């Protein structure tokens, strides 16, 4: 049978393939991904592909079409069923798979879905995704063949491996978990039967409608239910997941949020005890406080580009044992496998909390205080957005500014720092600033606005609530 398929141009993203179900993403797209990705794996000398899916309503149908496409290319497919994305990653490692695909819409609205991939044990992203689109469009795939399908439940093995790294002893913490109706639901229920302590689970059922709240723990509004419960039951901590449980949210005993960089401070101090002077990676959106605290703890902080695939690749290159993003992706490679896993990160966080001689809130309160804007995203044409960054960078260099160009521009001043970068996944520019005082933060916002106006853009709306940090 002759195969050719053209994807909707908006669905091929930098880090994954993603779209609106029934509009820009359909079962025939899933089949084409399976057929083409498997061809790439086979041409690379592999054959074994692991496939899983999240709890979205559209995921079972997309997964079935994906499997059908991969088998039609001659791949030997292992289906691990419905569960969190990190369980799929774990399956990929333990089965020594040549490729892996997760059907997941991550933290997007319920009508979205998508595909995250691994190829030869590494993230599959950027030019590789573009190449998949080109091969599919050209019908450039291996001849029709008949692969095999095996279905395996790896959840118990995954949970056993998670518990192997529990290091909190027998102290019985009281923990509130907001599963957010995510794909972790069934795995979390089994895990908590083994984890010491008292555990209260909110929104434990896997439900692709996400009836309680949007599954994104980086948005404070989505943590309100968790915060209320932590305060009500006087818990030691609260944990939240996004839709496929590869991103974590954390709330302390006072019901205050620890953001991604603050979580990383907590974890870095612990990891550096056994890996002194190790490289700890964080993305360009992280607070300067994080980089300073890693240095104080004897580590080598490394600022890197935003994007989970980019961070994972940099970790492998630098042999970093720990990395993280403001978005709540936390990556361990000290005892774990270098991929982002919110369930594993929760085990490690709670192990630290159990060993602390103070409440978690005391750790947060001891960190230097800063005032920051939320992440400001504003529309900018896909072609223009990168040009704007080039123009701003050129002006800053001419001015002799203290600027990092790792990912966009991040500028250090006496008042703090500000960031302007182009999104890799949307037609937007992203701005953020962190000041040492209210007046300092206003000066940083003005600096961003001036640069944008010089490039012919309106200044962004900074009216969102500033956050103490």
Q: Taking the CA atoms of the chain, what radius of gyration do you get in angstroms?
A: 22
**Interatomic CA distance for residues 286 and 260, integer angstroms:** 8
Taking CA atoms, 226 is separated from 199, 250, 259, in Å, by 13, 9, 15
**Interatomic CA distance for residues 51 and 412, integer angstroms:** 44
Kindly write down the DSSP assignment for every residue of 296-360, as one continuous string: HTT-EEEEE-SSHHHHHHHHHHHT-SEEE-TTS-EEE-SSS-SSB-HHHHHHHHHHHHHH-SS-H
Question: Could you give phi then psi for residue 123, rounded to 5 degrees?
Answer: -60, 140
**Interatomic CA distance for residues 296 and 319, integer angstroms:** 20
User: Any idea what DSSP says for residue 223?
Assistant: G
Kindly write down the DSSP assignment for every residue of 255-299, as one continuous string: SPEEPHHHHHHHHHHHHHHHSTT-EEEEETTS-HHHHHHHHHTT-
**Interatomic CA distance for residues 462 and 449, integer angstroms:** 10
- Which residues are marked as active site? 106
Taking CA atoms, 54 is separated from 34, 184, 206, 326, in Å, by 17, 8, 9, 23
- Work out the angle between the directed axes of helices 27-43 and 127-138 (0-180°, nearest 10): 110
Residue 425's nearest CA partner among 323, 328, 309, 319 is 309
**Interatomic CA distance for residues 37 and 96, integer angstroms:** 17
Pair 353, 168: CB distance under 8 Å: yes
Strands 402-404 and 376-379: unpaired
**Interatomic CA distance for residues 79 and 134, integer angstroms:** 27
Count of residues making up the chain: 469
């Amino acid at each position: 049978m002759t195969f050719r398929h053209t994807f909707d141009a908006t669905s091929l993203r930098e880090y994954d393939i993603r779209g609106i179900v029934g509009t820009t993403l359909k079962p025939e797209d899933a089949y084409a991904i399976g057929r083409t990705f498997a061809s790439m794996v086979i041409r690379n000398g592999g054959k074994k592909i692991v496939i899983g899916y999240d709890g979205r309503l559209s995921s079972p149908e997309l997964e079935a079409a994906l499997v059908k496409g991969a088998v039609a290319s001659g791949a030997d497919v292992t289906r691990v069923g419905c569960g969190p994305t990190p369980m799929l990653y774990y399956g990929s490692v333990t089965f020594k798979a040549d490729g892996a695909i997760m059907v997941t819409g991550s933290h997007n609205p319920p009508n979205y879905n998508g595909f995250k991939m691994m190829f030869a044990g590494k993230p599959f992203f950027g030019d590789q995704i573009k190449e998949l689109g080109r091969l599919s469009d050209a019908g450039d795939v291996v001849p029709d063949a008949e692969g095999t399908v095996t279905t395996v439940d790896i959840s118990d093995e995954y949970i056993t491996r998670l518990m192997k790294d529990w290091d909190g002893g027998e102290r019985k913490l009281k923990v509130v978990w907001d599963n957010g109706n995510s794909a972790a639901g069934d795995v979390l229920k089994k895990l908590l039967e083994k984890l010491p302590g008292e555990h209260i689970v909110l929104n434990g059922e896997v439900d692709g409608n996400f009836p309680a709240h949007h599954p994104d723990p980086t948005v404070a509004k989505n943590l309100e239910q968790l915060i209320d419960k932590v305060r009500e039951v006087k818990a030691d901590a609260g944990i939240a997941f996004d839709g496929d449980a590869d991103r974590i949210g954390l709330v302390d005993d006072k019901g205050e949020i620890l953001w991604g960089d603050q979580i990383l401070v907590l974890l870095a101090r612990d990891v550096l005890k056994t890996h002194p002077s190790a490289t700890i990676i964080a993305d360009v959106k992280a607070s300067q406080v994080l980089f300073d605290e890693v240095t104080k703890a004897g580590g080598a902080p490394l600022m890197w580009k935003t994007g989970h695939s980019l961070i994972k690749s940099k970790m492998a290159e630098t042999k970093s044992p720990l990395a993280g993003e403001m978005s709540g992706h936390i990556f361990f490679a000290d005892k774990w496998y270098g991929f982002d896993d919110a369930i594993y990160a929760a085990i490690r966080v709670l192990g630290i909390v159990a060993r602390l001689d103070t409440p978690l809130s005391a750790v947060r309160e001891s960190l230097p205080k800063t005032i920051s804007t939320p992440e400001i995203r504003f529309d900018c044409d896909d072609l223009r957005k990168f040009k704007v960054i080039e123009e701003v960078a050129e002006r800053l260099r001419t001015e002799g500014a203290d600027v990092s160009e790792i990912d966009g521009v991040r500028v250090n001043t006496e008042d703090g720092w500000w960031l302007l970068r182009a999104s890799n996944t949307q037609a937007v520019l992203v701005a953020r600033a962190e000041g040492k005082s209210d007046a300092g933060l206003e000066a940083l916002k003005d600096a961003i606005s001036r640069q944008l106006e010089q490039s012919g853009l309106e200044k962004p709306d900074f009216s969102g609530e500033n956050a103490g940090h």
